[in-house]
């Protein structure tokens, strides 16, 4: 049986993130960059040190400071760091960006609406404002002219090979058992408290149609998260979140660096810890992109109560593989080496998740055991 779901976390190790080849573009996704400083309204100091001039596109996941639009001085500070009016600076508003501020003031600095689409080099970016039609933390909707914008982009996208969505709240976790059981205790209240959104009713079907036309889709949620997530359901739309929490150290907090090979139409997403910010500035950061470099296979042995698992990779480390029930209970655990095939017996038919652990990196496959 072929595996139908992939969840990937990426770690630092050996793949060059920065190429001098002009055919390679580099994007950066920065989730939840604010510090806890409510007086000076500042960005996380390690985020502020990043040399953003090395990136072709900056994707800000919202909540730049504690009250970003409270006054012009705070926005001027953010503008100095991120060059807000630059068309290659994309900003998906979070609740701290707009909750006590002025949207018109933000527009003076960005020169555009809070939701928009942007196209360059075969990539279409779509920035959503999940705060625009929010009702507290419980409900958020992509509605009205914003929903029409989404429809227009999805109906007309033709030359792009990739569609990238950028937003703050994790609007895709509602109505997803996978996200609700794994993210609920690891995210900010602005996403954790949501119980209603129209993402799966109105937006997801449009994305599926776009995917059916051969366009790869990646959705980046920038709300506060204690874990890294790269999750692909069976339709291969990939949802990303990055761990960036002010109480955590730079050695575990992350941004996502995206390498885009234009001639080959290949895009890889790599988690980079804030402790490696200086290496970013020196063009020397490296990473293993497990999404491309490793293949996690799960299949059922015909006529038996066994499945086989295999992680195809050049990584020399040992891997821990665990099988979880749909309720999150550990059913089996095995240790194996790269490319080794392991057989595992399961107690009953149903939906399971197989996780492969390598250090801080995790790959997950969802499968149905029949």
Task: Note the pLDDT tens digit of each residue in 331-356.
Answer: 888 888 878 888 888 888 888 888 88
- Helices 103-110 + 72-82 axis angle, to 10: 30
Mean pLDDT of the region 63-76? 92
- Of residues 201 and 21, the one with the higher pLDDT is 201
Task: Note the pLDDT tens digit of each residue in 124-153.
Answer: 999 999 888 877 776 788 999 999 999 999
The yes-or-no verdict on residue 291 having pLDDT over 70 is: no
Residue 287's pLDDT is 34
For 290, phi and psi rounded to 5 degrees? -65, -25
- Of residues 119 and 363, the one with the higher pLDDT is 119
Chain centroid to CA 354:
20
Q: Which domains does the chain have, with CATH numbers?
A: 6-290 (3.60.21.10), 295-369 (2.60.40.3080)
The yes-or-no verdict on residue 159 having pLDDT over 80 is: yes
Contact 199, 218 (CB under 8 A): no
Residue 328's pLDDT is 73
C-alpha pair distances (Å), 126 with each of 14, 73, 263, 312: 31, 28, 22, 34
Mean pLDDT of the region 196-200? 84
- Give the Cα separation of 17 and 259 in Å (integer): 7
Contact 355, 325 (CB under 8 A): no
The yes-or-no verdict on residue 7 having pLDDT over 70 is: no
Task: Note the pLDDT tens digit of each residue in 162-176.
Answer: 999 999 988 887 766
The yes-or-no verdict on residue 319 having pLDDT over 70 is: yes
Annotate the chain with three-state secondary structure: CCCCCEEECCEEEEEECCCCCCCEEEEEEECCCECCCCCCCCECHHHHCCCHHHCCEEEECCCCCCCCCCCHHHHHHHHHHHCCCCCCEEECCCHHHHCCCCHHHHHHHHCCCCCEEEEECCEEEEECCCCCCCECCCEECCCHHHHHHHHHHHHHCCCCCEEEEEECCCCCCCCCHHHHHHHHHHECHHHHCCCEECHHHHHHHHHHHHHHCCCEEEEEECCCECCCEEEECCCCCEEEECCCCCCCCCCCCEEEEEEEECCCCEEEEEEEEHHHHHHHHCCCCEEECHHHHCEEEEEECCCCCEEEEEEECCCCCCEEEEEEECCCCEEEEEEECCCCEEEEECCCCEEEEEEEEECCEEEEEEEEEC
Mean pLDDT of the region 2-16? 34
- Of residues 346 and 191, the one with the higher pLDDT is 346
* Residue among 110, 96, 109, 104 nearest 34 (CA): 96
Task: Note the pLDDT tens digit of each residue in 86-120.
Answer: 999 999 999 889 987 789 999 999 999 999 999 99
Confidence of residue 232 (pLDDT cuts 50, 70, 90): confident
Task: Note the pLDDT tens digit of each residue in 38-68.
Answer: 888 899 999 999 999 989 999 999 999 999 9
Residue 161's pLDDT is 92
Q: Across all residues in the chain, what is the average pLDDT? A: 81
pTM of the full structure: 0.71
Residue 367 token pair: 């499968």
Residue 279's pLDDT is 63
Tell me the β-bridge partners of 57.
Answer: 27
């Amino acid at each position: 049986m072929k595996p139908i779901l992939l969840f990937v976390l990426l770690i630092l190790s050996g793949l060059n993130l920065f190429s001098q080849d002009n055919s390679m573009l580099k994007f950066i996704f920065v989730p939840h960059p604010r510090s806890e400083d409510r007086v000076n309204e500042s960005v996380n100091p390690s985020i502020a040190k990043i040399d953003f001039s090395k990136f072709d596109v900056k994707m800000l996941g919202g909540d730049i400071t504690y009250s970003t639009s409270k006054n012009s001085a705070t926005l001027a500070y953010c503008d100095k760091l991120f060059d807000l009016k630059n068309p290659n600076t994309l900003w998906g508003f979070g609740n701290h960006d707009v909750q006590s501020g002025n949207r018109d003031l933000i527009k003076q600095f960005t020169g555009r609406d809070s939701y928009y689409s942007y196209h360059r080099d075969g990539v279409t970016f779509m920035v959503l404002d999940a705060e625009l039609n929010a009702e507290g933390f419980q409900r958020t909707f992509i509605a009205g002219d914003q929903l029409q914008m989404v429809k227009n982009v999805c109906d007309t996208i033709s030359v792009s090979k990739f569609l990238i969505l950028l937003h703050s709240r994790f609007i895709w976790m509602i109505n997803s058992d996978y996200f609700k059981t794994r993210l609920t205790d690891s995210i900010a209240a602005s996403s954790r408290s949501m119980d209603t959104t129209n993402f799966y009713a109105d937006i997801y079907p449009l994305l599926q149609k776009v995917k059916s036309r051969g366009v790869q889709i990646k959705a980046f949620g920038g709300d506060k998260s204690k874990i890294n997530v790269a999750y692909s359901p069976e339709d291969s739309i990939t949802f990303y979140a990055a761990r960036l929490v002010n109480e955590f150290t730079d050695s575990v907090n992350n941004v996502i660096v995206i390498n885009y090979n234009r001639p080959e139409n290949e895009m890889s997403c790599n988690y980079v810890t804030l402790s490696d910010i200086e290496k970013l500035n020196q063009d020397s950061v490296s990473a293993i992109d497990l999404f491309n470099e490793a293949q996690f296979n799960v299949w059922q042995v015909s006529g038996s109560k066994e499945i086989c698992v295999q992680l195809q990779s050049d990584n020399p480390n040992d891997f821990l593989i665990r099988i979880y029930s749909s309720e999150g209970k550990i059913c089996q655990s095995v240790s194996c080496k790269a490319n080794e095939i392991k057989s595992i017996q399961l107690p009953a038919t149903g939906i399971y998740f197989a996780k492969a652990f390598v250090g801080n990196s995790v790959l997950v496959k969802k499968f149905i055991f029949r």
